[in-house]
A and B are shown apart, each in its own frame.
Chain A
Amino acid sequence: MKRVPAIRSILLLAALFVSFSFVSCGNSGGQKVLRVGTNAEYPPFEYKSADGKQFLGIDMDIAREIAAKLGYKLEIDDVQFDSLIPSLMAGKFDMAMAAITITPDRQKQVDFSVPYYTSNQAILVKSDSTLQISSLDDLAKLKVGCQNGTTGQIYMDDNLVKPGKMKADNLIKFPTNIEAIAALNNGTIDALIIDDPVAAGYQKMQPVKKAFVITTDENYGIAFPKGSKLEDKVNGILKNLMASDTFNEILHKQDSVNLK
């Protein structure tokens, strides 16, 4: 009976693999860890370095400063944007930094730090586009893309779709900006609504241009789970950081970065 040992060894291997998979998710002790959730598909706020090893961008640099001041080891978790707040509420990380606009709806679910960046919404079109967009009414006639769960999408829904000025089918909600930008380049959508600084980032990287800016004066904040003990400490660190030269350096570092 040669086959029985073969089957036994397969079973053993299987058991080994399964036990490994549970060991690998355990946490190692030692230095305290600051777990930061982000969505690293959003230059210049968060993106990966060309070798795929490092998280770069304004938010990531701020997170590194905060972790250093706290004396914690920084651990960055990269998930989809619309999973960030659910993940935070599920206790997956200590805070989330992903150019998250502070909104009343989000404040019902999570706590926010003091605002650290102010932004508007921009409309991107292809660089060879002849579309003239000078008002929201112009926008309502187009096929507009957005990233689901972002303030751009919420703005379009609240100001154009819900009042009946725009057909719901004309607002196309993509899971991430990657699909949205690709759809714009392919001509599937006419325009894309996106945070202004990110639009500026994409303008450098892709054949797209800003056609219109909607002043929304949104504030970005760091999100914490409700009742987080870290919140006060991080707020203190963030306030000090914003008053320092380091903060300016972090912001301007991205101006000179050639993302290609």
Chain B
Amino acid sequence: MSQSVFFMFATLPLLLQGAVVAILITLLSIALGFAVGVPITFLRIYGGRFGKGFANGYEWVLKGLPVLVTLFILYLGFPKLGIQIGSFAAIVLGLGLRSAAYQAQIYRGAVLSISTEQTEAGLSLGLSRFRTFFTIILPQAFRLSLPGFTNEFTIVLKDSPLAYAVGIVEILKQGRDITTTRGHTFAVYLACSILYFALFQLFYFLFQRINKKFAIPGFIFSK
């Protein structure tokens, strides 16, 4: 038993190296999800028939696919079409494009939960539609989307071990490489789970702080 506990500590340096990769995958995927998700949000709300249809279709497809399948299609399937995607790019694209679908949903919900009276009030004050959105709707929607965003961030973090399927050495793969030659299956996976949990708590705490900082005092949903 004490030997196993010692072994858990001995694996830490390797697992921490993996943690850096896991964090990088998560940050890049979330960033890609943001970069794609925001335009999708706008298309769904303001896009007209074609734009709405496209955004709807995007969400419908990406939300309906397991990331592992998307990952294999990108990594092993696309080369058949002459498009080579590296393993790191494949996992970031796989996680990021799915995250875009969910992030779009989060932002859309946040924007739509600001009552139309506020837009009307802005317009009646003589602000343009554009300014009404950026100065009245967006600051509130940003705050409202934070809890959902926190959730999405941690989900992407916890899906990052899928990267091991295409040979990226993140936390889980580091752990597996250790067990291959040295056994201690339980100790190693326990160490992995503690590390994932610690990362989860770290980011959760960070987002809670941001949440608190940007909370709207006395805000209540209208209607």
Contacts and interface: CB of A to CB of B under 8 A. Distances in A.
A235 interface: no
A15 to B, nearest CB: 7
Given A25-B89, A178-B179, A51 B14 contact: yes
B180 A52 contact: no
Contacts of B178: 52
B180 A43 contact: yes
A92 interface: yes
Contact of A18 (B32, B72, B85): B32
Contacts of A48: 177, 180-181
A21 B167 contact: no
A17 B89 contact: no
B66 interface: no
A67 to B, nearest CB: 19
A87 B165 CA distance: 12
Given A40-B180, A259-B181, A90 B76 contact: yes
B180 A47 contact: yes
Given A21-B28, A52-B174, A3 B139 contact: yes
Interface residues of B, number: 41
Given A13-B31, A21-B32, A52 B177 contact: yes
Contact of A41 (B86, B134, B165, B180): B180
Interface in A205-260: 205-206, 259-260
A205 B142 contact: no
Contacts of A10: 34
- Classify the interface of chain B: helix, strand, loop or mixed: helix
Nearest to A10: B34
B138 A7 contact: yes
A18 B181 contact: no
Contacts of A77: 87, 167
Given A17-B27, A41-B180, A206-B183, A3 B167 contact: no
Interface in B129-150: 134-135, 138-139, 142
Interface string B174-216: 1011111111010000000000000000000000000000000
B10 to A, nearest CB: 9
A92 B86 CA distance: 8
Contacts of A185: 185
Interface string A152-183: 00000000000000000000000011100010
Nearest to B183: A206
A91 interface: yes
A183 to B, nearest CB: 10
Interface stretch (A78-86, A103-111, A114-122, A136-144): A78-86
Nearest to A76: B167
Interface in B64-93: 72, 75-77, 79-80, 84-89, 92
B84 A91 contact: yes
Nearest to B77: A90
B216 to A, nearest CB: 12
Contact of B169 (A14, A52, A86, A182): A52
B182 A205 contact: yes
B166 interface: yes
A18 B35 contact: yes
B176 to A, nearest CB: 5
Interface of A: 1, 3-4, 7, 10-11, 13-15, 17-18, 20-22, 24-25, 40-43, 47-48, 50-52, 77-80, 83, 86-87, 90-92, 176-178, 182, 185, 205-206, 259-260
Given A14-B34, A47-B181, A260-B183, 4 more contacts: A52-B17, A87-B75, A92-B79, A182-B179
